[in-house]
Amino acid sequence: MSTRKTSLTDKQTKNGTSKYVLERCASINEYYDIAFKVMLLGDSAVGKTCVLVRFKDGAFLGGNFIATVGIDFRNKVVEVDNLKVKLQIWDTAGQERFRSVTHAYYRDAQGNISLLPQFVLKSLFLRILTAWLTEIHEYAQKDVVIMLLGNKVSVGYGIPFMETSAKTGVNVELAFLAIAKELKHRATQQPNEPRFQIQDYIEAQKHKSGCC
Ligand SMILES: Nc1nc2c(ncn2[C@@H]2O[C@H](COP(=O)(O)OP(=O)(O)O)[C@@H](O)[C@H]2O)c(=O)[nH]1
Ligand SMILES: [Mg+2]
């Protein structure tokens, strides 16, 4: 996975806070104005690693099941309203035995993206979602941005939701961009400025692209 682990992790550890890293990073290839940490959460084999690889490298990891051991991250800088927003996206292992490892990482995350298995029955879906939301609310920051990615399920939890495919790439970029926009707006919002409407943004972008 990523070989560029050191810079941001060290900075965040030194700060010892969950605050945004508001600086222009001087390292080659990686200029950014603002950085956020986002976690990918979900049960094993729902496609977390594939979604991350699709977003970062534009490729699909088909075929073999790639079990993620522990946790790792990839960085990607996206442009939001003329600001370079760096997303440090953590890929977690959903397996129960790794939960204690991942809990420690929730605290610093400004955004969480939960993925759901495909075609799950409604009751099972609600149970899984409730379990992940309980985890997030227990361990993450109070004002963390949550987004739900899934397939063939409809939701009424007041959480932004969209269907994605790591295979075709549909909506993957949009999911991360929407999270980046929400985080950037929260970090730079003026008192009298209206809140960013993330679900409206998602719907508008889907219509623009003619997507589902
Ligand atoms: N058809 C299809 N298969 C997918 C998709 N995303 C992931 N997979 C497959 O699902 C399996 C598990 O994916 P992985 O990313 O390792 O899941 P993780 O455990 O949540 O990280 C792999 O065999 C992937 O190739 C998708 O969007 N469509
Ligand atoms: Mg994985």
Residue 45 per-residue DSSP state: T
39, 58, 114, 184 from 52: Cα distances, Å: 10, 9, 12, 20
Mean pLDDT for the stretch of residues 151-158: 48
Q: Which helix (H) or strand (E) is 102 found in, with range?
A: helix 99-106
The per-residue pLDDT for range 129-150, each reduced to its tens digit, is 777 778 787 877 777 777 777 6
Tell whether the model's pLDDT for residue 77 goes beyond 90: yes
Tell whether the model's pLDDT for residue 22 goes beyond 50: no
Ligand 1 touching residue 45 (CB < 6 A): yes
Mean pLDDT for the stretch of residues 196-205: 89
Q: Report how far residue 53's alpha carbon sits from residue 64's, in angstroms, rounded to the nearest whole number.
A: 14
Q: Calculate how far, in angstroms, residue 137's C-alpha sits from the geometric centre of ligand 2.
A: 22
pLDDT recorded at residue 201 = 92
Mean pLDDT for the stretch of residues 48-68: 79
Q: pLDDT-derived band of residue 69, with 50, 70 and 90 as boundaries?
A: low
pLDDT recorded at residue 78 = 93
Summary mean pLDDT of the chain: 72
Q: Calculate how far, in angstroms, residue 83's C-alpha sits from the geometric centre of ligand 1.
A: 32
Compute, in degrees rounded to 10, the torsion defined by CA atoms 151, 138, 48, 104.
Answer: 180
pLDDT recorded at residue 209 = 61
pLDDT recorded at residue 66 = 65
Q: Which atom in ligand 1 lies closest to the alpha carbon of residue 62? A: 25
Q: Which atom in ligand 1 lies closest to the alpha carbon of residue 65? A: 23
Q: What are the chain's domains? A: 32-209 (3.40.50.300)
Tell whether the model's pLDDT for residue 80 goes beyond 90: yes
pLDDT recorded at residue 173 = 92
Q: Which two tokens stand for residue 132?
A: 């992940």
Q: Report how far residue 16's alpha carbon sits from residue 35's, in angstroms, rounded to the nearest whole number.
A: 15
Ligand 1 touching residue 92 (CB < 6 A): no
Of residues 179 and 132, more confidently modeled: 179
Percent of the chain with pLDDT over 70: 61
Ligand 1 touching residue 171 (CB < 6 A): no
Ligand 1 touching residue 165 (CB < 6 A): yes
Parallel, antiparallel or unpaired: strands 83-92 and 71-80: antiparallel
Q: What is the pTM assigned to this prediction?
A: 0.74
Ligand 1 touching residue 44 (CB < 6 A): yes
